[in-house]
Amino acid sequence: MRTFDLTGQKVAITGARGGIGSAAARLAAAQGADLVLADLVAPGETAAAVQALGRSASAAALDVSDRVAVEAWASEVGPVDALIDCAAICPFDDWEGQGWDDTFERVLDVNLHGPVNLCRAFMRPMMERGGGRVALVGSIAGRIGGVRSGPHYVMSKGGIHSFVRWAAKVGASHNVLVNAVAPGVVATDMTAEQSFDESEFPLRRQAEAEEIAGPLVFLVSPAASYITGAVLDVNGALHFS
C-alpha cells in the first residue's frame, strides 16, 4: 500500500474555487484522485488545473447552506470515497453594527450548517459502502477566540470542532473517519485586506494555502487510517501564543 496514494479514489471538494480548496484539489489530483468540485461560483479554473494533471474533474455552482441543493449535487455526483469541505466565509465586521445579526445568520449557515448538510448527504452512502473519509476546516478561532475574526466566525469554527467529534462517533463503526484541521492565519483572499503583525506569529509568517491543503489531503489518505475525531492544529504554534 502506498501510504499517501489516492489512485482510484473519487474526492468531493467544496470551496474549491480558490485558496485552500483549490490547493487541496490540485494536491489530491497529484496523488491520483479524480475530483468533483463545487463552490458558490463553479470552480472551472480549478477543474482545468486538475485535468491538466491527467485526472478527471467536474465543477458545479453550489451554496452549501442549501440542504436541497447539496443533496441534489450529492445525488448527481454519486458515491465518493472522501469529502473535503473548505467552503467558509469570514466577514470582518463590527458585531455592534446595524445588520450584523443578518451576517451572523449567514456565517453560521455557511460555516456550520454547510458542513452538516454535506456530511448528511455524503456520509450515509459511505457508511453503506463500508468506508469513507471526511475532512473539515476548523480554525484557530475555535481554539483561542480568533486573531482578528468576529464572534460569528469564532462560534462557527468552534462548532466544527465539536461536530467532528460527534460525526466521528457516528461513522467509526462503518469505517467512515471524520477529522478536521484548525489553521491559523492563511494568506488567501479571505484575509488579503487585513493587516497582521507577523512578528507576533511564532513562525514569523502566515501560512500558505498549500500548507493547509497537505494535512487535509493526508486526512483522506491511507496514511490516516486510524485517525478519527481529531482536529489537527496547523497554525504554526499560534495557538500557544
Given this model, what pLDDT does residue 33 score? Answer: 98
* Nearest to 142, CA basis, from 119, 165, 120: 165
Q: Does any domain span residue 4? A: no
**Is residue 122 a contact partner of residue 72, using CB atoms and an 8 Å limit?**
no
Per the annotation, the verdict on 226 as an active-site residue is no
**For residue 35, what is the domain's CATH number?**
3.40.50.720
Q: What pLDDT, in 10s, does the model give residues 193-224? A: 667 777 787 888 888 999 999 999 999 999 99
Given this model, what pLDDT does residue 241 score? Answer: 60
Q: Does any domain span residue 3? A: no
Q: Which domain holds residue 131?
A: 10-240
Cell digits of residue 215? 494535512
Given this model, what pLDDT does residue 191 score? Answer: 67
Q: What pLDDT, in 10s, does the model give residues 23-49? A: 999 999 999 999 999 999 999 999 999
Q: Does any domain span residue 235? A: yes
Contacts 24+ apart (CB under 8 A), 51-54: 53/26, 53/29, 54/29
Q: Does any domain span residue 123? A: yes
Tell me how long the chain is.
241
Of 22, 65, 149, 153, which one is the catalytic site residue? 153
Q: Does any domain span residue 191? A: yes
Q: Does any domain span residue 92? A: yes
User: Could you tell me which residues are beta bridge partners of residue 133?
Assistant: 82, 177
How many C-beta atoms lie closer than 10 Å to residue 150's C-beta?
19
In 88-208, alpha helices (H): 100-108, 114-129, 141-144, 151-172
Given this model, what pLDDT does residue 187 score? Answer: 78
Instruction: State the amino acid at position 98 in one-letter form.
Output: Q
Per the annotation, the verdict on 139 as an active-site residue is yes
User: Could you tell me which residues are beta bridge partners of residue 136?
Assistant: 85, 180
Q: Which residues contact 72 (CB under 8 A, 6 or more apart)?
A: none
Give the integer Cα–Cα distance in Å for 239 and 241. Answer: 6
**The total number of structural domains that make up the chain:** 1
111 secondary structure, DSSP code: I
Q: Does any domain span residue 5? A: no
Phi-psi region of 224 (alpha: psi -120 to 50; beta: other; left: phi over 0): alpha
Per the annotation, the verdict on 10 as an active-site residue is no
Mapped onto helix, strand or coil, the DSSP state of residue 35 is strand
Of 139, 149, 156, 221, which one is the catalytic site residue? 139
Mapped onto helix, strand or coil, the DSSP state of residue 224 is helix
* Nearest to 175, CA basis, from 131, 214, 206: 131
238 secondary structure, DSSP code: G
Q: Does any domain span residue 112? A: yes
Given this model, what pLDDT does residue 195 score? Answer: 74
Is 127 exposed, middle or buried (CB count within 10 Å of its CB: 0-12, 13-18, 19+)? middle
Which residue positions in the chain have pLDDT lower than 50? none
